[in-house]
Amino acid sequence: MTAITVIGSVNLDFVATGATLPAPGETVTGASLARHPGGKGANQALAAQRLGADVKLVARVGADSLADEALSLLDAEGVDLSACAVDSAAATGVALIAVATGGENQIVVAPGANAAFAPQHLTQATHSALICQLELPLETVAKAVAEATGFVCLNLAPAAAMPDETLARADLIVVNETEAAFYGQALHALPGLIAVTWGAKGAGLYRAGQQIAAAAPPPVTAIDTTGAGDAFVGALTLALLEGQTPQAALKFACTAGALAATRAGAQPSLPTRAEVDARQECV
């Protein structure tokens, strides 16, 4: 089984689903409310676990009533939580998510313990494959990447300026259209693989500025796109580690992301390996 360590954020998501998203200054009523475990780190950890990896999550939560709920699905599905620490001085991270009919969303995050995850809290280097995102302090991400000894996937979300050496160390960088625009052509001067996602249009995989693979997702009815990008990251990392070709790995990741958009909630929506394989066989 492929071992992956995820160093990243843990949140509890409060999801309000309604007919439309509010414009600035507008109040939209008539929504329904649900609570789901979330956070990009936790989402990507569960995504990889459900797809067949052996995953360890390194993260921080608050000493409050939200922590157990935020970690509940990870714990139930066998993700190694031995490196998830409790921060007695901070709250568990919370995301406030508005979802409209059709799956589009708006997200506001109160990071809590995630923002207090300082570099000194990383007590050992990662020797398995590593996945990181940018919902932790950037200096913590930079240290984790610098000390990693195996394959490194860096999901540059949300977009932020990172040290050149951190970007250059990544074997795989994943960005969406907005993030790709933030970094510009500098991404394509990096030595690793660059995956760019375009939502329902699919994704492309690049090396040295040249597209080496492109894939479109299977047609689905989108309900909530909140966890789709995280499903893509976990799936693409695992597929490449398994030795799948760039084209096959990208198709696998696009399928996982599309299936995640067909169900509500970030973590509850993440597909299993059997679901992804079955959908690929049908296409």
- Residues labelled catalytic: 230
Q: Rounded to whole angstroms, how far apart are CA atoms 218 and 171?
A: 27
**Alpha-carbon torsion angle 29, 35, 36, 41, nearest 10:** 80
Copy the structure tokens of residue 43: 């989402």
Task: Supply the DSSP symbol for 245.
Answer: -
* End-to-end alpha carbon distance in the chain: 27
Closest CA to 84 of 195, 145, 8: 8
- For 165-202, the three-class secondary structure string (H helix, E strand, C coil) is HHHHHCCEEEEEHHHHHHHHHHHHHCCCEEEEECHHHC
Closest CA to 12 of 55, 71, 58, 63: 71
Whether a cis peptide bond, with omega within 30° of 0, leads into 219 is no
